[in-house]
Amino acid sequence: MKFYKVCGLMIPLLLAACATAPRAPVAIAPLSEKQQFEQKQMAAASTAMEQFLRCKQGGLLLGESAREKKSSAQYAASAKTLDQCLADIDEYRDVAPVTSVEFVEQRMQVHALTVLNYFKAGDIKHAKLQLRAFELSYPGRDLYFSDYTSFIDSLSLLLGIDTVESRRKVFNVNPTLASEVSRYRYWQRH
């Protein structure tokens, strides 16, 4: 055995022993069926989220065009596109990436735009249905306009949704909107 002097110490050279020692094999435990299913579902949900974002962008572009051209037909097309985006992502509603706070907020915004665009298109029936679906999909949650008024309250007032509960409730709506709706309803009756 050869010895080398390093920093005043005698160290044996064991190169032959190091070179012939095999590496321990890395053991990877196979995934259970449940883990495989969850992994596939997560991958599918991620793909669905990407498709949702592309779909949303298409619906937003239709909405912008509708606003520029003042086209009720384009508002209807935008609403239907956004509605389809929600339907496509809905099957992944309980999968982790889709349940993140940020993504749920995006879904709520798209759902709200669907209601608004049906309303702007003059399709009151679908606007009412979508508003009800919004309330059922996000119980106890609401979105707020830039003046801090409630999306649900404002659209309920505009769509004429009148329930026993809403009569007891003080609406969080823009005062100008409430005044105009009240004036409109007065002149409808007289």
- In the chain, count of helices (H) and strands (E)? 8, 2
Q: What is the pLDDT of residues 171-190, one digit of tens each?
A: 788 888 877 777 777 687 87
> CB neighbours of 152 closer than 8 A, spacing ≥ 6?
131, 134, 135, 142, 143
Whether the model clears a pTM of 0.95, i.e. scores above it, the answer is no
Residue 59 has pLDDT above 80, yes or no: yes
Q: What is the pLDDT of residues 134-146, one digit of tens each?
A: 999 999 999 999 9
Q: Which residues pair with 150 in a beta bridge?
A: 144
Tokens linked to 88: 């496509």
167 or 103, higher pLDDT: 103
What is the pLDDT, as a whole number, of residue 24? 63
Domain chopping of the chain, boundaries: 44-141, 144-190
CA distances from 83 to 48, 112, 118, 154 (A): 15, 10, 10, 20
Q: Which has the closest alpha carbon to 74: 120, 113, 130, 131?
A: 120
Q: What is the pLDDT of residues 12-36, one digit of tens each?
A: 554 444 555 566 666 566 777 877 7
**Spatial distance between the Cα atoms of 104 and 137, rounded to a whole number of angstroms:** 10
CA distances from 61 to 58, 66, 68, 116, 117 (A): 5, 9, 11, 15, 12
**Spatial distance between the Cα atoms of 180 and 178, rounded to a whole number of angstroms:** 6
> CB neighbours of 121 closer than 8 A, spacing ≥ 6?
72, 73, 75, 76, 79
Q: How many other C-beta atoms lie within 10 A of the C-beta of residue 82?
A: 28
